[in-house]
Amino acid sequence: MRQCRLTTLLNRNYLVITVQPALTGKNILLIISGGIAAYKVLEVIRRLRDRDINIRAILTKGGAEFVTPLSVAALTENKVYQDLFSLTDEAEMGHIRLSREADLVLVAPASADILAKMATGQAGDLATTALLATNKPVMIAPAMNVEMWHHRATQANIATLENRGVIRVGPSSGDLACGEVGSGRLAEPAEIIASVLDFLEAQEAPKPLAGKKAVVTSGPTHEPIDPVRYIANRSSGKQGHAIAQALCDAGADVTLVSGPVNLPDPAGVKVVQVETAREMLAAVQSALPADIAICAAAVADWRTAGEAGQKLKKDGAGFIPDLKLSENPDILAIISAAGPKRPSLVIGFAAETENVTEHARAKRTRKGCDWILANDVAPDTGTFGGDQNEICLISGTDEKTDERWPRQSKTGIGRALAMRIIDHFS
Ligand code: CTP
């Protein structure tokens, strides 16, 4: 999920006044669902129209209880669409075209009802049909009562939507129209506007890796012992996912091969989910040829020599199973080996707990990759599974060429690596 931050909002307010990047001709499909906060969306429409952004609006039956089609039409300077089975509308615009001719679909306010319908893929009216038919990015601004927001059903729906790449703005906390206090308030119009402008400007940003194909591995692998047990490690996948997102934001066509993680898919990235090292290798090989390969996964070095077909049982007499292990394929070494499909830039990680750069340098030579990112994963660093990372980029045998990056967020490391890759290719 890409949450929009208040700092961005403040910066954006500044930019709105001073820079005003050209967003003329951008198109938004605005879906106004039922909620008392719908009136605030009229302000959103006005401010986006000030930036010459075209807005077509769909007003749901519930939405029309709170704002009139006339006010939405007057502010958008466009026809307002309400009915799935309107012959006139279909002849003019067809609901599929309506859903495809936008740079962004914005659902504001997004009621608990429309979120549930989106999560379950319902298409009973024009708004939900357009949401199911669209192949464009979707942003939601939820608004509802605090209990409805915290209900496990709503939270599960939000998680489902975010996992599909839906961008969320808010809700914020405070006094609610129903008289209760808590989360569920529609984000302020300025925050929604900032999020939309951020998104549209990011689409306009230069894409120096456009035309480049990248494959990234991320997360741990799970190696089954029997149908219920497996060998795993503590990798969260945060670093690999952040790298995939940064490369995609820079314009690369990214395939992320991920072991089991508890993270949303990075927006715009093709994600292949795998469990074992052998599945990861097969998925990486089928994503080749690529220009860039980055192995950030903490692949299990060993798997059990033979997975038990049935659950291993305790026999009550203290018998301990004798687990035989065999070595997993080394994906990084295999990808780095010379051959017609070898990516021109292969990057590995070296997770070390002592003599970090020495071990990493030896690993680079042994595996044959071009760069290795050495990181200290000793327990006191909190790197493994944490949000921060400290990297030393090793690209040669001479330690004078080592590049030490300051400790920063894994997102920051992802961006720094994307910048370094852009530099390499230019
Ligand atoms: N790697 C891989 N396939 C494996 C093991 C590791 O692709 N079977 C990759 C990792 O994604 C990482 C690099 O190799 O980019 C180094 O991983 P690391 O765990 O640091 O090293 P190992 O090869 O496992 O060696 P050791 O455990 O001895 O440090």
Q: Which residue has the tokens 């203290």?
A: 318
pLDDT at 189 over 60: yes
On average, the pLDDT of the chain sits at: 90
Indicate if 226 and 175 belong to the same structural domain: no
Residue 351: CB within 6 Å of ligand 1? yes
Q: Which atom of ligand 1 is nearest to the CA of 350?
A: 20
Question: Does the residue 134 lie in any domain?
Answer: yes
Q: Which atom of ligand 1 is nearest to the CA of 297?
A: 11
Q: Looking at residue 327, what is its pLDDT?
A: 97
- First-residue to last-residue Cα distance in the chain: 31
The tokens for 75 are: 């502010």
Q: Looking at residue 65, what is its pLDDT?
A: 95
Q: Looking at residue 205, what is its pLDDT?
A: 82
Residue 279: CB within 6 Å of ligand 1? no
Choose which residue among 363, 366, 392 to substitute to test ligand 1 binding: the one with the highest number of ligand atoms within 8 A of its C-beta: 363
**pLDDT band per the 50, 70, 90 thresholds, residue 21:** low
Identify the domain containing residue 417 by its residue range: 213-303+327-425
Mean pLDDT of 266-278: 94
The tokens for 25 are: 């001709």
How many residues appear in the chain? 426
pLDDT tens digits, one per residue of 366-401: 999 999 999 988 777 777 777 888 999 999 988 899
Query: 215 C-alpha to center of ligand 1: Å?
Result: 16
| C-alpha pair distances (Å), 76 with each of 108, 125, 158, 259 | 14, 21, 28, 45
The SS3 call for residue 88 is helix
Choose the final residue of a domain: 204, 221, 238. 204
Residue 330: CB within 6 Å of ligand 1? yes
Indicate if 355 and 233 belong to the same structural domain: yes
- Report which secondary-structure segment, H or E, holds 72: helix 69-76
Mean pLDDT of 360-364: 96
Q: What percent of the chain is modeled with pLDDT above 90?
A: 70
Mean pLDDT of 109-122: 97
The SS3 call for residue 204 is helix
Query: 337 C-alpha to center of ligand 1: Å?
Result: 15
Q: Report the CATH number that the domain containing residue 21 is assigned in CATH.
A: 3.40.50.1950
- How many domains does the chain fold into? 2
Question: Does the residue 318 lie in any domain?
Answer: no
Question: Does the residue 376 lie in any domain?
Answer: yes
Identify the burial level of 337 via C-beta atoms within 10 angstroms of its C-beta, where 0-12 means exposed, 13-18 middle and 19 or more buried: exposed
Query: 333 C-alpha to center of ligand 1: Å?
Result: 9
Question: Does the residue 317 lie in any domain?
Answer: no
Mean pLDDT of 75-85: 91
Pairing of strands 213-218, 292-295: parallel
pLDDT tens digits, one per residue of 29-77: 999 999 899 999 999 999 999 999 999 999 999 999 999 999 999 999 9
**CA-CA distance, 304 to 324, in Å (whole number)?**
6
| Beta bridge mates, 350 | 374
The count of C-alpha atoms lying within 13 angstroms of the C-alpha of 112, restricted to the half-sphere facing its C-beta, is 15
**pTM, two decimal places:** 0.72
pLDDT at 93 over 80: no
**Cβ contact 372:397 at 8 Å:** no
Mean pLDDT of 324-343: 97
Q: Looking at residue 84, what is its pLDDT?
A: 81
Residue 215: CB within 6 Å of ligand 1? no
Q: Looking at residue 20, what is its pLDDT?
A: 52
Q: Assess whether 392 carries a catalytic annotation.
A: no
CB contact set of 257 (below 8 Å; sequence gap of 6+) = 215, 216, 217, 218, 272, 274, 280, 283, 284, 287, 297
Q: What is the CA angle 413-141-77, rounded to 5? A: 115
